[in-house]
Structure 1
Amino acid sequence: MEHPNITNFSDTTINGNITDESIVTLRHSAAGWTILVTLKLLISVVSVLLNSAVLLIHYFIPVYVNPFSVYLLALYLANLFYILTSRPMEILDELFGLYPNAGYPVCMLYLYQKVSSIVPILFHVLISLNRVWAMTFPVSYRERHTRRLAVFICIGTVAYVHLLNLPPYLIDVLHFYPSVFGKYHDCGHLSTNSMDFPKVDEIINRILPTLIVLVCYIFIIVKRRSNRISASRCSTRTKHEDYSQQPGPLRRSVKPFVIVSVTSISLLICYLPVQVIFFLGLFFA
């Protein structure tokens, strides 16, 4: 998933004598079936199928729905929503020049991805914090963590994202981007960044959550190893052990750690490098 924020350009960034018309011609002259467009389409189709398959499995087999899996289902839904709302318009624009033909309302929907793309990142954080809670306070986790609480936390996270990010988004789409769209016939790629919000947005909504996931995952690995050492010295399980390792089939005790490993590593490998590069690009040309 590429970074949802806009790229910074001005009339003099590429060439001091470049004109607005040549920018539009340059971007749309490259439209067509390229390797990048084909790869984006393939990744989008695979992502939709995989996320939909997991959601259908949980729908037809309700026994798989537990307090912990609520966060996973929320992550799958957020991923699915992001892919279905942003990627088709992006591919159509690269193929046919969607925005000059469809108009600014479609551009507004595409720009909304800057808000919706934050939700999956925070769901990764919830998954990590959930495992930290389960391993640090297992008794409290068993007694208080229910499906209803998990659903409430997920809904609250979505509400938090929109309350924090919708005002800057509305300012952009109502007062700033209409002139950019009318000048360049482009949606979110060309901008002079009238506000300094992207820097704050990058730190609060992307870099900080990713660092939280990293710290939580390191803690989980250390705590899990400590629990295993303690268990090997005792004939019975201690109260300090991860709740996910309570008596039961081995596959049930391993599953939460495997899931948090996959979600954490995928976020760190696929998203952190892009975040760092984009953040540095906000300060250095």
Structure 2
Amino acid sequence: MLAFILRSHLRTSFNIYLMNLATANFLYALIQNPPDVINHLYNGWFLGSFYCSVLIFGLYIFEAGIRNCHILISLNRIWAVFWPHSYRTYHKKRVACLLCLAGWVEVQFIILPGYILDAMYYRSTAIGASCGLNAMAQWEWSVAIQFTVYNMGLYLMWISYPIIWYKRRQRQRNQIVPSRQPAQSSQGTGARSVRSVRTNQDATDNDTVDDEEETAKTTRSGNQSGPLAKKTSSKAFTILTVLTISVTVCWTPILCYYTITLWMPVNNPILLEVGTVLFALQSVLDPVLFIIALPDLRDTFRGAFRAALRLGR
């Protein structure tokens, strides 16, 4: 987050979604993880009703918000791949910020009614009881949010990824077509051919381009070299790939556990602990994956690390 804040060139329209996800992960780790650890270490909750409400709020709101952040990244790539002209024209930083804000409003609108009812009527106040939302008292609501909010994030990523991959591959194949045309002897015809190749290449590169600033910079410089353009355009898809793999590994156990427990009791604390740890680990993995996938962010992080080492010496 400090790298995004301190380096203005990193605050691109696509990176707004990464900043949104990093912020959600940070708040989840700060607000929800510490009381959750206490709740799992001890049989009874002894930190009071207010802090129990904080734990449940973080557990339901921030987990749903993190899933929405991943969904927005997938939807952004679908927009860029299927409607590249519309994406280049309308997807600006302001649009990205509004979409991120809308995602958080949606989460609050869906989850807060059940959360408030639980705090007012259904939450257990018995001595020694653990802190948790009484899902069985609002079973229909619990089932609805489990599938429409929590599970849906993983479903949409699974569905959208192969579609995005196929569309990108199809456009990359179409990009090769102009280069197979025979060379024209006329200078004017040759110039038109070059412009045609560049136009097709622009359309393909911007299908998965990270931000409109890089697109404009490349267009102004006139440098549309194949490897550079391909490297620039593939960063967002690389991030989508690593995030899809990581969420599949980290989310599947806990989603399966909570989905099954809605219909039958599951007395398997090991499965619950493994799922909880894996989901919490996702908050640590996301920023690491960003640094690995984004060269600019990696260079900034490396420079800051070297500066800290020099300062320490």
Q: Under TM normalisation by the shorter chain, which class is it?
A: 0.7 to 0.9
Contact 2:53 2:119 in 1 (8 A): yes
* Residue matched to 1:198: 142
Distance in 2 of aligned mates of 1:194 and 1:129: 34
**Partner AA of 2:172 in structure 1:** R
* Residue matched to 1:264: 244
* Residue matched to 1:255: 235
1:242-267: CA deviations, max 9, x gaps? 51357463431221111111122212
Deviation at 1:234, TM superposition (A): 2.2
Contact 2:39 2:130 in 1 (8 A): no
Distance in 1 of aligned mates of 2:153 and 2:30: 24
Deviation at 1:81, TM superposition (A): 0.5
SS at match of 1:115: helix
Contact 1:176 1:194 in 2 (8 A): yes
Range 139-148 or range 198-207, more displaced: 198-207
1:89 paired with 2:52, answer: no
Equivalent position to 1:79, from 11, 14, 25: 25
Q: Given the superposition, is the C-alpha separation of residues 84 and 98 from structure 1 closer, same or farther in structure 2, using an over 3 Å criterion?
A: farther
* Residue matched to 1:166: 112
SS at match of 1:187: coil
Range 201-210 or range 239-248, more displaced: 239-248
Q: Which of structures 1 and 2 has the larger relative contact order (alpha carbons within 8 angstroms, sep 6+)?
A: 1
1:53-88: CA deviations, max 9, x gaps? xx1111111101111010110001001111111111
Larger Rg: 2
1:282 paired with 2:262, answer: yes
SS at match of 1:234: helix
* Residue matched to 2:204: 241
Deviation at 1:97, TM superposition (A): 7.0
Range 209-218 or range 146-155, more displaced: 209-218
Deviation at 1:198, TM superposition (A): 1.6
* Residue matched to 2:51: 106
* Residue matched to 1:186: 130
Q: Given the superposition, is the C-alpha separation of residues 240 and 136 from structure 1 closer, same or farther in structure 2, using an over 3 Å criterion?
A: farther
Q: Given the superposition, is the C-alpha separation of residues 163 and 192 from structure 1 closer, same or farther in structure 2, using an over 3 Å criterion?
A: closer
**Partner AA of 2:231 in structure 1:** R
Distance in 2 of aligned mates of 1:267 and 1:76: 14
**Partner AA of 2:149 in structure 1:** N
Q: Given the superposition, is the C-alpha separation of residues 258 and 276 from structure 1 closer, same or farther in structure 2, using an over 3 Å criterion?
A: same
Contact 2:44 2:128 in 1 (8 A): no
SS at match of 1:182: coil
1:133-152 alignment to 2 at 5 Å? 133-152=79-98
Deviation at 1:269, TM superposition (A): 2.1
* Matched positions, count: 227
* Residue matched to 1:209: 153
SS at match of 1:186: coil
Q: Given the superposition, is the C-alpha separation of residues 109 and 56 from structure 1 closer, same or farther in structure 2, using an over 3 Å criterion?
A: same
Deviation at 1:94, TM superposition (A): 4.6
Distance in 1 of aligned mates of 2:155 and 2:255: 11
Equivalent position to 2:9, from 50, 63, 80: 63
Q: Given the superposition, is the C-alpha separation of residues 209 and 88 from structure 1 closer, same or farther in structure 2, using an over 3 Å criterion?
A: same
Contact 1:138 1:240 in 2 (8 A): yes
Deviation at 1:96, TM superposition (A): 6.5
Higher helix proportion (structure 1 or 2): 2
Q: Given the superposition, is the C-alpha separation of residues 132 and 111 from structure 1 closer, same or farther in structure 2, using an over 3 Å criterion?
A: same
1:12-53: CA deviations, max 9, x gaps? xxxxxxxxxxxxxxxxxxxxxxxxxxxxxxxxxxxxxxxxxx
Q: Name the TM-score, length of structure 2 as normaliser.
A: 0.67
1:124 paired with 2:70, answer: yes
Q: Given the superposition, is the C-alpha separation of residues 87 and 67 from structure 1 closer, same or farther in structure 2, using an over 3 Å criterion?
A: same
Q: Given the superposition, is the C-alpha separation of residues 98 and 279 from structure 1 closer, same or farther in structure 2, using an over 3 Å criterion?
A: closer
Contact 1:134 1:242 in 2 (8 A): no
Q: Name the TM-score, length of structure 1 as normaliser.
A: 0.73
